[in-house]
Amino acid sequence: MRKVFASLLIVGMLAMGAGAAHAEEKATKLHDVVSDLYGVPYKTAGKTKKGFDCSGFTHYVFEELGVELPASSAAQYKVGTAVDKKDLQPGDLVFFQTNGRSISHVGIYIGDGTFVHSESGRGVVNTKLNDPYYWSKRYVGAKRIHVPALEEKAAEEAPAAPVETVQEAPAAPDKEQAVQAASLPQK
């Protein structure tokens, strides 16, 4: 039983390592895509490098990562896996209520308490998530988006788990064998 538990523990640790490699790969790819977009102006309903609105920006970035997101920030909030603010990783979408009624703004968490987004009047910029004057008061939640191409790559690069051969214990004799063995003359 200990050997089985130890084997499962090793496999689990390797899987977590693969998850960390995936998160690092996602952050690197995200940086590569976003770094060319800083300074692109804000444009209502914009979805190209000529100008982005907030959801057009996130849609564009994730499309570059091989993922098709819905068009609006409210629709984007309905996809992915919910993530606690304390567990944010680069690439997580962060959502805000800027109009007081519903999800109306989205950005991409890039680490170190910072998110990148297309902001009216400023274009694509970095902003502190916990800005006490505006963004922290309007923060609603975050979602982690599944990026298949990066996860497949991480799985291909993950080290193979060591295979341990566990020998089965000899089978217990059945009743008939036990009776026969007991009735044999002892030498």
Q: Which tens digits make up the pLDDT trace of 3-54?
A: 333 333 333 333 344 456 666 787 888 999 999 999 999 999 999 999 999 9
Q: DSSP assignment of 128-179, as one string?
A: ETT-TTTHHHHEEEEEEPP-HHHHHHHHHHSPPPPP---PPPPPPP-HHHHH
Once rounded to an integer, what is the mean pLDDT over residues 84-99?
97
The residue written with tokens 């703004």 in the block is 105
Q: Per the structure block, which two tokens stand in for 35?
A: 């770094």
Annotated active-site residue in 22, 31, 105, 146: 105
Q: Pairing state of beta strands 139-144 and 93-96? A: antiparallel
CA dist., res. 108 & res. 30, Å (int): 9
All structural domains of the chain with their residue ranges = 2-157
pLDDT at residue 100 in the model = 79
Is 59 catalytic? The answer is no
Query: The domain 2-157 belongs to what CATH superfamily?
Result: endopeptidase domain like (from Nostoc punctiforme) (3.90.1720.10)
Euclidean distance between the first and the last CA atom of the chain, given in angstroms as a whole number: 37
Active site residue 54: yes
Does the reported pTM lie above 0.85? no
Chain segment 54-73, per-residue pLDDT in tens: 999 999 999 999 999 999 99
Catalytic position from the list 22, 31, 59, 117: 117
Confidence of residue 101 (pLDDT cuts 50, 70, 90): confident
Residue type (1 letter), 119? E
- Give residue 174's pLDDT: 55
Q: Is 117 a catalytic residue?
A: yes
Q: Where are the beta strands (DSSP E) in the chain?
A: 47-48, 51-52, 81-83, 93-96, 105-111, 114-119, 123-128, 139-144
Instruction: At 48, list the tokens.
Output: 């190209």
Catalytic residue among 31, 54, 59, 146: 54
Mean pLDDT of the chain: 80
Strand order of the sheet with strand 81-83? 81-83, 139-144, 93-96, 105-111, 114-119, 123-128
